[in-house]
């Protein structure tokens, strides 16, 4: 065995991982050698370097077994050296990759271990392993020249020879000063200094040269290492450095525009740099004079308290504090820690702002926010009324009352019952309640109680546990009540809900909890229920097909949506809105003629808004011109009952009746256009009192 390796061989200190904490701590308490080997089932399995453990200053006896286990390295990853083993480049690189090497004798018995450094020294001192150094030099991407104490070149790699365009025979054994800078070499040998980034020209080739001394254990310079890089790469580095400089200039420009005072502190508390903006009457002297000083000492001097830097260093996390100064200033300081890739704290960025006057401003801001919220709610309400792009389109007083109801109940979680004919937009009303409520950021779910079979409806509403019934999901399923927790659940066509489910629904409403199918454990829920129906629930209660107690439980806040035929003022707005959506979708510019709108207003619309939307789309698709005429509308409404069309007459009626109907329609049209009886009277050429009297009679007949 190599003499150097033999002399440096160290015994293995092994500890069983099966023993308890106390025994383990006692065995490693006074260890001088940091390497501790671990055994499992009496066999060597791993090792740990006690120096690598992050113990925060703890002694060896304070180390726990779990810390040792988590930092242990398997010996499978460690190279094993035998005296007769052939030394290859692969073996050398494995040695370089591990801090220790296990040593066995020819009988495969473990003799001890040796550190990586001692192993390499032993290998290189063996005569037959001299070429290993050449292999190592050859693997280095930069040029390397080794100079002895006589300043003679004794070794180099091919990369270096290529960079200086010389052959090995011309370089080996020659004076290094003849190829490189003699003055620089003399400086290295005389002072032991390291010279970096020296530009040198060799054979008309520009290279960048680093000179580093090789020192003995006593500190004497016994040689030198010369590292050579070609200038094209250096040029790339220069460009990168210029980019870094540009980035630095940009960063300084950004910092100068930031209102807050910004400080960059190192992990010792020393000020490295700061922004141009700084807080007046806070620092004892200008910040530029404090660069390089420890800011932590200012807390000890009583300049301010507490120090956000100290708190970040202690907690290793973002910290916000209000600092108070000697002169009574209050400063909000936020310290952000910056970690490197290894998780070590490298920098602290502190952003500070004077908040001495902020207490008053904070109170005013809170009031302003509350007012802003009210204004936003009012603005949204007005937009819903005036902007035809919104879903709820209306202009009638009857729909205004519905919208007012929505505004009133938006901040409450009471159960709502929406009643109205099919197609009047009950789901839109439910969505509006959800949007305007404080549950708007929570789920909105809808389910039609009349379109789902009873057994399926129960599982959809209440959910089920795994294995509850044949065909059930193996993982179970949350019902709509659970899914809508915190939000709103819209139960459409609740009048069609089976009696058996009405009982379970009543319990949910009363107890605020739901029991899934197959379970006996109730689940608390917080859901606002909005139900809707096109049926007369009171009549259903009388007929015995709807539970009376459930009716009163869901009819807390009733909302009646009038049919479209009762609010003709909304027909033009809805028709225009539907037509505009179609124009936008198909990039067209269709519009309704005034006569066509008159016909639409006179129709009874038994199918309500849904029927109107369908008709508008039919007119849009079939129209040959951009204008949709009254003739086209009349064609599609020819088989429907048109209520008081104007000026359309389809048959002979008594002249008196015709006059009365025309007079009534003229008065209605005049009032719609001019709004006041005075202007309507002027347009019709009759007295204001006649218009007022006749218009009141018309309104009474419509009620």
pLDDT of residue 360: 58
- 500-524 tens-digit pLDDT: 899 999 999 999 999 998 888 999 9
Residue 379 included in any domain = no
Angle between helices 677-684 and 688-702 in degrees, nearest 10: 110
Task: Supply the range of the domain harboring residue 608.
Answer: 565-636
Q: Which of 104, 130, 156 is the last residue of a domain?
A: 130
Shared domain check, 513 and 409: yes
Residue 116 included in any domain = yes
Instruction: Report, as an integer, the average pLDDT of 156-185.
Output: 88
Shared domain check, 92 and 38: yes
pLDDT band at 643 (very low <50, low <70, confident <90, very high): very low
Interatomic CA distance for residues 349 and 360, integer angstroms: 28
Shared domain check, 579 and 615: yes
pLDDT of residue 127: 44
Instruction: Report, as an integer, the average pLDDT of 373-393.
Output: 57
Interatomic CA distance for residues 192 and 215, integer angstroms: 8
pLDDT of residue 560: 95
Residue 186 has pLDDT above 50, yes or no: yes
Residue 551 included in any domain = yes
pLDDT band at 134 (very low <50, low <70, confident <90, very high): low
pLDDT band at 660 (very low <50, low <70, confident <90, very high): confident
Torsion of CA 151, 155, 159, 162, to 10 degrees: 60
- Residues in the chain, how many? 703
Residue 367 included in any domain = no
Residue 359 has pLDDT above 60, yes or no: no
Say whether the peptide bond before residue 306 is cis (omega within 30 degrees of 0). yes
628 neighbors 592 (Cβ within 8 angstroms): yes
Q: Which of 337, 356, 375 is the last residue of a domain?
A: 356
Shared domain check, 525 and 465: yes
Q: Which residue has the higher pLDDT, 518 or 305?
A: 518
pLDDT of residue 642: 42
The pTM is what?
Answer: 0.41
134 neighbors 111 (Cβ within 8 angstroms): no
pLDDT band at 483 (very low <50, low <70, confident <90, very high): very high
Shared domain check, 221 and 304: no
Residue 554 has pLDDT above 90, yes or no: yes
Shared domain check, 537 and 408: yes
pLDDT of residue 388: 34
Residue 555 has pLDDT above 90, yes or no: yes
Please provide residue 44's backbone torsions phi and psi, each rounded to the nearest 5 degrees. Answer: -65, 125
pLDDT of residue 198: 85
CATH, residue 550: 3.40.50.300
Shared domain check, 281 and 265: yes
543 neighbors 401 (Cβ within 8 angstroms): no
CA gyration radius for the chain? 45
Residue 416 has pLDDT above 90, yes or no: yes
Angle between helices 89-96 and 116-125 in degrees, nearest 10: 150
The DSSP string of 260-300 is SEEEEEETTSBEEEE-S---TTTSSS-GGGTTTSBTHHHHH
Shared domain check, 230 and 163: yes
pLDDT of residue 368: 61
Residue 700 has pLDDT above 70, yes or no: yes
Instruction: Report, as an integer, the average pLDDT of 648-674.
Output: 76
- Tokens encoding 435: 């949007």
Range with top average pLDDT, 301-315, 619-633, 652-666: 619-633
Shared domain check, 465 and 539: yes
Q: Which residue has the higher pLDDT, 180 or 142?
A: 180
Q: Please tell me the total count of domains within the chain.
A: 6
pLDDT of residue 661: 81
Listed in sequence order, the residues at least 6 apart from 191 whose beta carbon sits closer than 8 Å to its beta carbon are: none
75 neighbors 102 (Cβ within 8 angstroms): yes
CATH, residue 215: 3.30.450.20
Interatomic CA distance for residues 243 and 176, integer angstroms: 36
Look at 253-262, 338-347, 410-419 and tell me which has the smallest mean pLDDT. 253-262
- 274-286 tens-digit pLDDT: 877 777 777 777 7
Shared domain check, 75 and 182: no
Look at 10-24, 428-442, 559-573, 629-643 and tell me which has the smallest mean pLDDT. 629-643
Look at 90-94, 213-217, 257-261, 574-578 and tell me which has the smallest mean pLDDT. 90-94
Shared domain check, 530 and 545: yes
Look at 52-56, 465-469, 567-571 and tell me which has the smallest mean pLDDT. 52-56
pLDDT of residue 546: 93
Q: Are strands 221-230 and 261-266 parallel, antiparallel or unpaired?
A: unpaired
Rounded (5°) CA angle 371-487-402: 65
669 neighbors 646 (Cβ within 8 angstroms): yes
- 204-244 tens-digit pLDDT: 667 888 998 887 656 788 888 898 887 665 556 556 667 77
Residue 440 has pLDDT above 70, yes or no: yes
CATH, residue 604: 1.10.8.60
pLDDT of residue 132: 55
Shared domain check, 109 and 9: yes
Residue 370 included in any domain = no
Instruction: Report, as an integer, the average pLDDT of 146-167.
Output: 86
Residue 642 included in any domain = no
Residue 614 included in any domain = yes
Residue 365 included in any domain = no
pLDDT of residue 401: 92
């Amino acid at each position: 065995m190599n003499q150097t390796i033999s002399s440096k061989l160290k015994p293995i200190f092994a500890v069983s991982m099966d023993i308890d904490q106390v025994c383990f701590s006692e065995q490693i308490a006074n260890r001088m050698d940091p390497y501790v080997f671990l055994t499992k089932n009496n066999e060597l399995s791993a090792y740990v370097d006690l120096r690598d453990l992050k113990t925060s200053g703890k002694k060896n006896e304070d180390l726990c077994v779990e810390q040792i286990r988590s930092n242990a390295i398997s010996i499978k990853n460690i190279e094993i050296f035998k005296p007769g083993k052939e030394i290859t480049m692969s073996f050398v690189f494995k040695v370089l990759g591990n801090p220790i090497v296990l040593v066995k004798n020819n009988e495969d018995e473990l003799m001890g271990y040796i550190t990586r450094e001692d192993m390499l020294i032993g290998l290189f001192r063996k005569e037959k392993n001299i070429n290993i150094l050449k292999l190592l030099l050859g693997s280095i991407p930069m040029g390397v020249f080794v100079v002895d104490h006589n300043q003679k070149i004794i070794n180099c790699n091919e990369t270096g020879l290529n960079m200086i365009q010389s052959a090995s025979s011309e370089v080996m054994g020659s004076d290094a000063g003849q190829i490189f800078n003699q003055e620089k070499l003399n400086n290295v040998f005389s002072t032991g200094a390291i010279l970096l980034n020296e530009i040198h020209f060799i054979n008309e080739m520009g290279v960048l040269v680093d000179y580093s001394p090789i020192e003995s254990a006593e500190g004497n310079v016994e040689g030198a290492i010369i590292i050579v890089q070609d200038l094209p790469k250096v040029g790339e580095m220069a460009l990168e450095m210029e980019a870094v400089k540009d980035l630095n200039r940009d960063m300084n420009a950004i910092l100068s525009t930031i209102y807050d005072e910004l400080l960059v502190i190192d992990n010792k508390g020393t000020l490295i740099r700061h922004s141009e903006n700084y807080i007046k009457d806070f620092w004892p002297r200008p910040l530029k004079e404090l660069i390089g000083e420890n800011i932590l000492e200012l807390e000890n001097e009583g300049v301010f308290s507490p120090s956000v830097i100290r708190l970040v260093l202690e907690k290793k996390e973002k910290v916000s504090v209000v600092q108070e100064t000697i002169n009574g200033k209050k400063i909000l300081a936020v310290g952000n820690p910056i970690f490197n890739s290894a998780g070590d704290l490298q920098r602290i960025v502190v952003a500070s702002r004077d908040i001495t006057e902020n207490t008053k401003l904070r109170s005013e801001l809170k009031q302003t926010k509350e007012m802003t919220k009210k204004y936003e709610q009012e603005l949204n309400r007005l937009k819903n009324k005036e902007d035809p792009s919104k879903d709820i389109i209306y202009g009638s007083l009857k729909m205004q009352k519905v919208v007012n109801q929505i505004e009133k109940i938006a901040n409450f979680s009471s159960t709502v019952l929406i009643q109205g004919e099919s197609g009047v937009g009950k789901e839109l009303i439910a969505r509006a309640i959800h949007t305007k409520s404080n549950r708007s950021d929570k789920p909105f779910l809808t389910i039609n109680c009349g379109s789902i079979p009873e057994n399926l409806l129960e599982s959809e509403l209440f959910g089920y546990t795994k294995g509850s019934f044949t065909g059930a999901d193996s993982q179970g399923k949350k019902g709509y009540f659970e899914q809508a927790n915190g939000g709103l659940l819209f139960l459409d066509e609740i009048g069609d809900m089976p009696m058996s489910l009405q009982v379970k629904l009543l319990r949910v409403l009363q107890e605020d909890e739901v029991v899934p199918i197959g379970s006996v454990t109730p689940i608390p829920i917080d859901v606002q229920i909005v139900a809707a129906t096109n049926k007369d629930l009171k009549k259903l209660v009388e007929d015995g097909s709807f539970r009376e107690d459930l009716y009163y439980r869901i009819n807390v806040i009733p909302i009646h949506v009038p049919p479209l035929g009762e609010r003709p003022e909304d027909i033009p707005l809805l028709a225009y809105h539907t037509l505009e959506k179609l124009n936008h979708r198909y990039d067209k510019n269709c519009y309704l003629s005034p006569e066509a709108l008159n016909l639409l207003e006179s129709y009874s619309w038994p199918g309500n808004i849904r029927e109107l939307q369908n008709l508008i789309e039919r007119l849009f698709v079939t129209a040959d011109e951009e204008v949709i005429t009254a003739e086209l509308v009349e064609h599609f409404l020819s088989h429907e009952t048109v209520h008081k069309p104007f000026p359309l007459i389809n048959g002979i009626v008594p002249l008196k009746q015709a006059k009365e109907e025309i007079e009534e329609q003229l008065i209605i049209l005049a009032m719609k256009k001019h709004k006041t009886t005075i202007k309507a009277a002027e347009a019709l050429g009759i007295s204001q009192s006649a218009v007022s009297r006749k218009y009141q009679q018309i309104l009474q007949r419509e009620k």
